[in-house]
A and B are shown apart, each in its own frame.
Chain A
Amino acid sequence: MTTVPPPAPGGSPTPAPATIRAQDLVKMFGPIRAVDGISFELAPGRIYGLLGPNGSGKTTLIRLLTGMGRATAGRAEVLGTAMPSRAVLARVGYMTQSDGIYPALTAGENVRFFGELYGVTDATAPEDALAVVDLADRRDAVVATLSGGQRRRLSLACALVHRPPVLFLDEPTVGVDPLLRVQFWSHFRRLADGGVTIVVSSHVMDEADRCDELLFMRSGRVIARGSGRDLRARAGTDDLEQAFLRFSGNVAATR
């Protein structure tokens, strides 16, 4: 028998169970605390932005959440299962910071290859993934002949091919032209509306307002969390860069 949670008081909708959960995550590289005690819960159907300068621990955090790195301490959970878990990986899309595609294969071959590894049986899925990133007409081009931005797009297609309910995107828009970025974001939004949880990392602030919620990262910690508007209000500034600096100033002061 399943227990249905009681309706929340005041008629507000029941908060959905978290799809991604971090509990006191720590990752050390020798003396470096790349991730320094991070805990959070992320809900389905939302886009989360991990924002922070280079070296603040965004990639390491994503690797812990996807089970690609083993935490020194703490626990990472995706879709209710502790990571690393091979079964969960079938339902997770991970676009790595480096492209991670095969230069000697064509764009189509790369997407089909990853589709097969993810167990995709739908023959149209690779085509759809290529269409999303606007590479359908470059299907038969060998990756080595693609531009940097095109490779980035192909890398994204490889993370989308199995239509995962959880998506980690590590700096996905680096090297992608502004017009296509707009397209990317509207696709991310469509996916989120369909219930997909998306975690996007970035070291620039200009795309922050496309996220539902932001997690400011610095020195392996989440120093602030909230919507762009919320964070601006709390920092008392209209400029997100300024807001980030205020929050990191607080951290520096409290240390």
Chain B
Amino acid sequence: MSARRVRALWRRVVAEIRRDRPSLALLFVAPILVTGLVTFILREGQTPALNALIVNQAGLPGSAIAGEIASSLRTLGDQATQATDEAAARAAVRDGSATLAIILPADLAASVTRGGAITITVLTSGLDPAGESGQLAVLGKALAAAAGQFSRSQPPVIRHTTVYGVPSSDPIAAFAPAIVGFFVYFFVYILTGVSFLRERTGGTLERLLATPVARGEIVAGYTLGFGLFATLQVALLMTWALGSLRIPALGPLPAFSIGLGIPVAGSPPIAFLVVLLLAVGAVSLGIFLSTFARTELQVLQFIPVVLAPQFLLSGVLFPINSLPAILKPLVAIMPLNYAVDGLRQVFIAGADLSNGALQEDLLVLLGVAAFFAVIASLTIRREIV
């Protein structure tokens, strides 16, 4: 081992990285950005304000309790209104005009006189499991405060039901949409970004541009090419995630099943469409960002800057309704969120193409894909230098 040679090597490594300004910047900026964002979300996150409907099925004694709950919620800054019956409340939760409904059961008065715990049914939509458990926690506080007024003995028991799906029957159901969306976005971006960078640095882009090809044709060709692999990836991932193929016992082999068997309420082809639109947008994003990269390493370094915030703000780790207010506009422009929401509509609510929320998600994803396709083709210039 020669100290001289080792020194020559380490000097070269340091000199190279020092001259790679973007890498150097990202080396320091990326961790600060990501940890800063997480800290900000956790510290400045808001307790989501509830818009609760109270359905009283317990007659006169119930209305006193309903009043207590409503005033306790208002003290905490939430809204509470009375609803005529459960069907009306359910409709309001479904169309999003109410966050949740509190249903006071008919046997409420009896429970109170017996001195036992009263059971209150809480109805949420079920589309955003992480967000809804935060809302239930808020409601729990309000109920505990109100409980002192009507039940000496025990705090009320909350029975959680949802408009869509069964609450927490399978914890993966909440995560599946985000995971499927994120993986596709991530891999399509890397694949396109790196191959387009090779095109730029390997001299073939200049060669391509010396032909009569139009920039839009290049973006379209790339989109179709990587779209094919994205399609295959999504198809495989969906089959694996949603499928549950039972393999019967065969001789000494016990029976087993292939696939995660994640329950899906809606139609897998529609979920597929959502993910495919996301992937098409990722192709153009890869082409666009490769303009700012000089090396493949730099393509990877955009991940913490461009993809990590999307993941953090997609509602997978932190419920969107509890994010700090100033991040909300950011949430509104992140394509991944629309894909996650669209997938939730399909997976959990069983939405089909006539569903307004799903239509909106699909439109936004289509718009984002078109926008980035234009941006990407503008970055492919004959003038490379």
Contacts of B382 in A (CB 8 A): 67-70, 84
Task: Name the residue in A68, A92, A99, A118 with the highest tally of chain B Cβ atoms < 10 Å from its Cβ.
Answer: A68
On whether A66 and B212 interact (CB within 8 A), knowing A100-B204, A101-B204, the answer reads no
Q: Is B209 an interface residue (CB 8 A)?
A: yes
Complex: how many Å from CA A63 to CA B114? 92
- Majority SS of interface residues in chain B? loop
Task: Name the residue in B209, B211, B382 with the highest tally of chain A Cβ atoms < 10 Å from its Cβ.
Answer: B211
Number of interface residues of A (CB under 8 A): 25
Q: How far is the CB of A42 from chain B (nearest CB, A)?
A: 18
Q: Is B255 an interface residue (CB 8 A)?
A: no
Complex: how many Å from CA A23 to CA B12? 45
Contact between B212 and A101, CB atoms less than 8 A apart: no
Complex: how many Å from CA A70 to CA B209? 13
Contact between B385 and A69, CB atoms less than 8 A apart: yes
Q: Is A117 an interface residue (CB 8 A)?
A: yes
Instruction: Give 14 CB contacts A-B under 8 Å.
Output: A29-B385, A68-B209, A68-B383, A69-B382, A86-B212, A86-B214, A87-B212, A89-B210, A90-B211, A100-B206, A100-B207, A117-B208, A118-B212, A158-B207
Contact of B212 among A29, A90, A102 (CB under 8 A): A90
Contacts of B171 in A (CB 8 A): none
Contacts of A247 in B (CB 8 A): none
The number of residue pairs between A and B whose CB atoms lie closer than 8 Å in the complex comes to: 54
Q: Is B1 an interface residue (CB 8 A)?
A: no
Q: Residue-by-residue, is B183-209 near A (CB-CB < 8 Å gives 1, otherwise 0)?
A: 000000000000000000011101111
Within 8 A of A (CB), among B305-343: none
**A117 closest partner in B (C-beta):** B211
On whether A100 and B203 interact (CB within 8 A), knowing A67-B382, A70-B383, the answer reads yes
On whether A119 and B203 interact (CB within 8 A), knowing A29-B385, A69-B385, the answer reads no
Complex: how many Å from CA A20 to CA B354? 60
Contacts of A119 in B (CB 8 A): 212
Contacts of A66 in B (CB 8 A): 210
Q: Is A237 an interface residue (CB 8 A)?
A: no
Within 8 A of A (CB), among B206-262: 206-214
